[in-house]
Amino acid sequence: MRGAPVGKENRLRRSIAFLLGGLSLLSVGCREIDVARIKGYLGSADAQIRLGYLYGTGEGVERDDAASSKWYRRAAEQGHPGAQVSMGNRYLQGIGVERDTPTAASWFQRAADQGEPEAQARLGMMLAGGLGIERNDAEALRYLRLAVDQGRADAMLTFGYMYSSGHGVEADDKAGFEWVRKAAEAGYPAAQVILARHYAVGKGVGKDAAESVRWYRKAAEQGVAAAEYRLGLAYSTGVGIEKNPAAALEWLSKAAEQGDAFAQQDLGRLYTEGTGVAVDFTRAAEWYRRAADQGLPAAQYNVGYGYGFGLGVAKDEAEAARWFERAAAAGHGMAQESLGLAYLVGRGVTKDETRALMWLELAAESGRKDSAAALVDLRKALDESKQVEARQLAQAWRESRAARSGAAVAPADATPPMPE
């Protein structure tokens, strides 16, 4: 009795396959997604991969990342290396599935062992960094070499990292540079950015600002925001290329529109200065705010400055103090000085000489000479108990910052520089 249902299912599958072939031959207008779905249910790995692609891109069907992952998984479980790579990438990025780096590494391993070059490169990177899998430099180098031999530029770039950092091999900046150069020459934009940095700082090669700019341009022309920013900065400063304010504005604008916070900050500066464009404090304030919202301390200070003086926004000293505090908490010296002075006179905040002393001490430590000068008079005016409290607050700030960055902590009784 158990054989009957199986026989019926097999007959049904043959019938569907026959009808599907007829539909294809007669071109009766059946949608690609419907044809692929029938083939996918019949077990065609190629159709399952196509379904994964269609659902993943929304081509001819409403985009559905979960459905996309379901179909890629079906093909991957049949041993298709391309689908296994897709599943690895989806688990690595959390697309249509919960992000799970160990599972990502497992799928890459299955595809890599079938000779799939992208999987070999990905697995090598994960082994080198201990991401989702125990770090193993020897195995990382083995898989990366297999990928390099198949022309994977991302594997070449990781080779460069391993030689530069001494991961699994003796540290060799020159060899690291050569691998990065090979990846860059293969057209890999991430490698082009890193190669530009090598030339900029002279790591593994002699410093060459012009060559650095040339490689930033190659990556910028592929739409890499970080490269667009660096190219715009080069045109702005004239380092490695002739100054060109209009070109600086163009490239910084491209990077800023892509969300690069440093470009947004510098674009705000151009509108503030009127460099390559008419002075426009409103536009400047908009760009500073976009960078500040991403946590860039310099931009947060500039937003505060704008509110403090009503540049491009309505004057609001309380709002200015709030932005100064954000930047000051991140270690921005000018913001610490501005916040300290605000507490000293009660501008936008309740007057608090203890906090004024705290922030001015920190600002002086960062090199702000005006703060160091102001401390002389402030210390004379405050009794010892307030000075002790200010030092304790400053030390607590240092320790909190050091805990986040791993930096050494200055002693609690460290004396900031005094003016000459």
Q: Among 341, 331, 339, 405, which Cα is nearest to 365's?
A: 331
CB-count exposure of residue 174 (10 Å: 0-12, 13-18, 19+): exposed
Alpha-carbon 137 to chain mean position = 25
Long-range contacts of 409-415, Cβ-Cβ distance < 8 Å, separation of 24 or more: 410/365, 414/365
Place of tokens 């930033």: 216
Cβ contact 388:379 at 8 Å: no
How many residues are given for the chain? Answer: 420
Q: Please state, rounded to an integer, the average pLDDT across all residues of the chain.
A: 90
More confident call, 20 vs 111 = 111
What tokens appear for 376 in the block? 């002389």
Angstrom distance (rounded) from CA 404 to CA 398: 10
Calculate mean pLDDT across residues 391-415.
69
CA distances from residue 16 to 5, 50, 74 in whole angstroms, order as listed: 16, 19, 19
DSSP state at residue 22: H
Using left for φ > 0, alpha for ψ between -120 and 50, and beta otherwise, residue 149 falls in: alpha
Q: Is the pLDDT of residue 326 over 70?
A: yes
Q: Is the pLDDT of residue 26 over 50?
A: no
Query: Of all helices (H) and strands (E), which one includes residue 187?
Result: none
pLDDT single digits (tens) 335-368: 999 999 999 999 999 999 999 999 999 999 999 9
Place of tokens 């380092």: 239
Confidence (pLDDT) at 370: 87
The pTM of the full predicted model, rounded to 2 decimals, is 0.82
pLDDT single digits (tens) 358-367: 999 999 999 9
Neighbouring C-alpha atoms within 13 Å toward the C-beta of 416: 27
DSSP state at residue 131: S
Cβ contact 104:132 at 8 Å: yes
Q: Is the pLDDT of residue 417 over 70?
A: no
Confidence (pLDDT) at 28: 47
Cβ contact 351:317 at 8 Å: no
What tokens appear for 392 in the block? 């304790």
Confidence (pLDDT) at 419: 29
pLDDT single digits (tens) 143-174: 999 999 999 999 999 999 999 999 889 999 99
Confidence of residue 122 (pLDDT cuts 50, 70, 90): very high
In angstroms, what is the C-alpha Rg of the chain?
A: 30
